[in-house]
């Protein structure tokens, strides 16, 4: 699912075949995600976040569902926590934040180490000594917000204009792939790149107009490990 349609991108000024326009949309979408640190469609992700003193874990994206929560340990073999040991809130609900709330005050006599006589969930966590959790789930918006769609179309046009070589550039570098209008069409679709490794926030999309449209969607939360 793209953040804007091919027609919207062409209206914003992107030229070329539908495949070429789609590639510019993909490039714009990736730039928007780097800048906002948010995803605007349902996306399966694995994230790592710090555990607060009260068991609050602020998540880096709008959370839809959580399928697994586990402490981050050096041995990387930590067990998943049962759903009874945490609850999830989402910013999709007005007044809520995207977070996992660990049940510091609770216990489960059916879970080894989390029994009421053994300190409950807090006692188990303290014995683990973990400062972070790994959260597996689905994140993102139900649908692309209007301003994000507009920003994507405008940014696609901006990126194409920035990449368009002059006649002198084309003559100096015969390896440039250009269409009949002189547009650089050598775009690699990197939608599957970065499936691992931390996603680093970008200071700008490269367009002040697009940055302004996205201002209300900025998220500088904890680290994103990558798509699942």
Whole-number pLDDT of residue 114: 79
Q: Residues 36, 101: one domain?
A: no
211 vs 113, higher pLDDT: 211
Q: What are the structure tokens assigned to 224, written together?
A: 């994103």
Assigned domain for 226 exists: no
User: What CA–CA distance (Å, rounded) separates 70 from 152?
Assistant: 35
Q: Residues 76, 135: one domain?
A: yes
Q: Residue 86's closest CA among 47, 119, 60, 114?
A: 114
Domain boundary among 139, 172, 198: 139
Assigned domain for 187 exists: yes
Domain boundary among 111, 139, 167: 139
- Domain span at residue 198 reads 6-40+146-218
Whole-number pLDDT of residue 78: 66
pLDDT band at 12 (very low <50, low <70, confident <90, very high): very high
32 vs 131, higher pLDDT: 32
Q: What is the mean pLDDT of the chain?
A: 82
pTM strictly above 0.85: no
Q: Residues 130, 47: one domain?
A: yes
Q: Residues 124, 191: one domain?
A: no
Assigned domain for 74 exists: yes
Q: Residues 47, 84: one domain?
A: yes
Q: Express each pLDDT in 194-208 by its tens digit.
A: 434 445 667 899 999
Q: Residues 117, 203: one domain?
A: no
Domain boundary among 139, 172, 187: 139
Are 6 and 25 in contact by the 8 Å Cβ rule? The answer is yes
Whole-number pLDDT of residue 179: 53
Whole-number pLDDT of residue 16: 96
């Amino acid at each position: 699912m793209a953040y804007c349609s091919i027609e919207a991108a062409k209206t914003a000024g992107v030229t070329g075949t539908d495949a070429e326009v789609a590639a510019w949309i993909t490039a714009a979408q990736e730039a928007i995600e780097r800048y906002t640190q948010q995803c605007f469609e349902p996306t399966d992700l694995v994230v790592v976040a710090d555990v607060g003193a009260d068991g609050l874990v602020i998540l880096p994206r709008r959370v839809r569902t959580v399928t697994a929560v586990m402490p981050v340990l050096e041995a990387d073999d930590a067990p998943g926590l049962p759903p009874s040991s945490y609850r999830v809130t989402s910013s999709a609900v007005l007044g809520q934040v995207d977070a996992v709330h660990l049940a510091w005050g609770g216990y489960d006599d059916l879970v080894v180490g989390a029994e009421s006589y053994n300190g409950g969930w807090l006692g188990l966590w303290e014995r683990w000594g973990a400062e972070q959790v790994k959260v597996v789930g689905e994140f993102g918006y139900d649908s692309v917000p209007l301003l994000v769609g507009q920003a994507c179309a405008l940014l696609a046009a901006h990126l194409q204009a920035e990449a368009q070589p002059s006649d002198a550039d084309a003559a100096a570098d015969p390896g440039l792939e250009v269409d009949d209008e002189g547009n650089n069409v050598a775009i690699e679709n990197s939608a599957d790149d970065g499936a691992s490794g931390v996603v680093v926030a970008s200071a700008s999309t490269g367009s002040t107009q697009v940055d302004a449209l996205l201002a209300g969607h900025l998220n500088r939360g904890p680290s994103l490990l990558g798509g699942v």
